[in-house]
Amino acid sequence: MFKDCHMGRERELPGMEYANEFFDSLHQALAGEQFATIAEAQAFLNQFMRESNTAARDDLHSLTPDQAYAILYEPFASPDVVSFPNPLAVQPDAPVITLFSMLVDAIGEKGLKTTATGNLPRNFCREGMRVYLGDKQYEFDLKIGAFQNETECIPVTAMRYSALAAGLIRKFKGKFVVTKKCRGILEKQGMAGVYSLLFRTYVAKINWGFIYFTESPWMSQGTFAFALYLFSRYGDEWRPAGFYTEAMLRAFPDLIMQIKTRGTISPERLFEMEFTSRFIRSFMRLYGLLEMEEYDYKAPPGTFKVHAQPLLEEIVQFKL
């Protein structure tokens, strides 16, 4: 993955595996070549790079290095490769919209009083988690002491932080209120406009590490667009969540170098736990991008199966 003859891109990649492979291939290509001038050598190098950057690779799941780079590092600035429609062409059905609608209703015309720490009231958070999880799972979690405050209601927190950062709600005199911007979007675009704004804000502005208490949000947040590409490519069939973990590491094996090992758990297993928990079970579920089997907490993290939902093709479109 190299942009030009100055080879500046390799420093930005998750690891150096592509740089090492590139130089090995270049060394082989140069064998037996002789150049009369520096210009000839530069022309050969430029052509070699163009061919390397535009050749589809199996380990990148049929993407070229240029396409993979755009999806990984410039997803919102590469419309010829990937785009995120705004607003959506359909009115979305997703948990994040359900939670946001609940918040707008709770705010009403008078506002919703914040807690002393500036969070959403516990009763609202609990009702949001009941709707998000379903009665059975909610009652079980409640019995073991969950949902004591907003920070223990992660889907609600993720929605609220995104709504604030997107300018859809704000705090005013100790209350949450709906902004004029939000009312304008709802009037003109409905939840199709709200969803697009929440989505883009959540992936581009919100620190997942803060919300999910994780040290390496890059593994799930920084690679979000590439992971969405994998679901777009393979998600038409039910597959184990671990399939996508393996697909990510096949493309970027050095991602596990960011993992801090704990005890006897391997870096690969820790990566799987991080990716399936933060990206698949949290982000994709919250935004209605997948259908997921009932999760068994006693089973290995990547064994439950997932299937892409039609909404995925509405929020992200790959032009390959």
- Whether 224 has a pLDDT exceeding 50, the answer reads yes
Mean pLDDT of all residues in the chain? 85
Whether the full predicted model's pTM is greater than 0.95, yes or no, is no
18-22, 71-75, 279-283: which has the minimum mean pLDDT?
18-22
Which residue pairs from 130-136 have beta carbons closer than 8 angstroms and sit at least 24 positions apart in sequence?
Answer: 131/95, 131/98, 131/99, 131/102, 132/95, 132/98, 132/99, 132/156
pLDDT in tens, 233-262: 999 999 999 999 999 999 988 887 777 766
- Whether 22 has a pLDDT exceeding 70, the answer reads no
3-state SS string over 161-218?
HHHHHCCCEEEECCEEEECHHHHHHHHHCCHHHHHHHHHHHHHHCCCHHHHHCCCCHH
12-21, 100-109, 120-129, 192-201: which has the minimum mean pLDDT?
12-21
- pLDDT at 53 (0 to 100): 62
Tell me the average pLDDT across 61-90. 94
Burial of 21 (C-beta count, 10 Å sphere; 0-12/13-18/19+) = middle
pLDDT in tens, 92-104: 999 999 999 999 9
- Whether 266 has a pLDDT exceeding 70, the answer reads yes
Question: Residue with structure tokens 């970027």?
Answer: 252
pLDDT in tens, 138-181: 999 999 999 999 999 999 999 999 999 999 999 999 999 999 99
- pLDDT at 298 (0 to 100): 77
